[in-house]
Amino acid sequence: MEDVIVVEGLTKRFGNFVAVNNIDFTVKEREIFGFLGPNGAGKSTTIKILITLLHPTSGSAKICGYDVVKEPYNVRKKIGVVFQDRSSDRVLTGRQNLDLHGRMYTMSKEEREKKIKEVLRLLELEGVENIRLNSLPEGVRRRFEVARGFMTNPKVVFLDEPTIGFDIKARRDLWSQIKDAKEKEGSAVLLTTHYIEEADYLCDRVAIIDHAKIVAIDTPENLKKSVGTMLISFQIGDKNGNGLSYFIDRVKRLDWVIGVLKDNNPIILKIEKGEGRVLDLIEFADKIGFEIISIDEREPNLEDAFLYYTGRTIREAEGG
């Protein structure tokens, strides 16, 4: 399959601050590729470079073989963009926004009619297309922007935090709509997100990005597998004041504990699969003067993979 995005050694500096640090990745045709990372990791900056709004400091990026710096006009013809924050004219109706968008891409009247009908159906917007965006809820406006992104037969659609501020139900709906639209239009999708479930549900491959660098690229399945087969996570209380490091030191020596993924509350241990691990741990903790407040044995998820590759959780990363 052809690579629709090829990025090599891409770097962007703002003064002394390095926003994107020497990243490489490729996105294949019809693939949904996700950038998973905390706010400020460099996801949006990378997108801005790829959609020709920002010049890189060094390195190169090609969309469908066109260089984003040297051939921005050709690049723009190949892409659809859904920005993180509002980008439509709210005095106009959804249909008027879509129609003007088509005109800007020099689509003929028949083409526009056909495509508008198609994307309205894909994003389940039929019936509200003649209402001014001002009078519609934020989630619907967002769907119009996604519809617009897919309207011009783009080879690549960029979705910058598509479901930010959505409730669970609206988020799940939009995910499946994005999947449908991508299938129907045959586009590849590059999306940025800091929602674990979004990356897990939508993406064929995920790049974990932190501190302006890509630290891992793989399928969500493989990323989870790289963490281990089974995890146990728990909150503990220190009854005798021995310190958490003492507990960690002791628990590491248990023969079914493979390693420590996270050494502060909630603690996460990589373990061998087996019966009765939860009970064993509770007993063990009690014996050395600790008490387990809550405990959960589970398979690794993408959150654990993020932790595994970056040494911190997304929430910690966002906090500081």
Partner 1 sequence: MSEKIEFKRKFTEIQPIYSMWLREVIRFFNMKPRVISTIVQPVLFLALLALPMSKLFHGAPPEMEQTMFGGLNFFSFLVPGIVGIGLLFGGTMSGVTVLWDKDFGFLKEVMVAPVRRTSLMLGRTFGGLTVGMLQALITIGVASVFGIWYGFKISSLSGFLLAIVFCVLTFFIFSCFGIILGGLFEGTEGFMAFVNLIQMPLFFLSGAMIPISQLKGVPVLYQIQFINPLTYGVDGLRSALTGSTPFFPIWIDIIVLITVAVVFLLLGAYTFSKMEVD
The residues of the shown chain that bind partner 1, judged by CB under 8 A, are 51-53, 73-74, 76-77, 79, 81, 83, 85-93, 96, 100-101, 103-106, 132, 148
Do 97 and 144 touch, CB atoms closer than 8 A?
A: yes
- φ/ψ of residue 100, rounded to 5: -65, -40
| 189 contacts: CB under 8 Å, gap ≥ 6 | 31, 32, 33, 156, 157, 158, 159, 178, 182, 202
CB 283 to partner 1: min, Å: 56
Question: Smallest distance, Å, CB 93 to partner 1?
Answer: 8
Q: 158 or 306, CB closer to partner 1?
A: 158
Cis peptide before 266, with omega less than 30 degrees from 0? yes
Nearer to partner 1, 96 or 242 (CB): 96
Beta carbon of residue 107, minimum distance to partner 1 (angstroms, whole number)? 9
For the bound state, the minimum distance from the C-beta of residue 73 to partner 1, rounded and expressed in Å, comes to: 5
CA-nearest of 124, 127, 204 to 170 is 124
Q: Could you tell me the smallest distance in angstroms from the CB atom of residue 249 to partner 1?
A: 49
CB closer to partner 1 out of 88 and 177: 88
Q: Decide: helix, strand or coil at residue 1.
A: coil
Q: Would you say 92 or 282 has its CB closer to partner 1? A: 92
- Residue nearer to partner 1 on the CB measure, 17 or 287: 17
What is the distance between the alpha carbons of residues 288 and 290, in angstroms, rounded to a whole number?
A: 6
Kindly list the distances between the CA atom of residue 219 and the CA atoms of 32, 37, 70, 246, in Å, as whole numbers in the listed order.
Answer: 10, 15, 32, 36
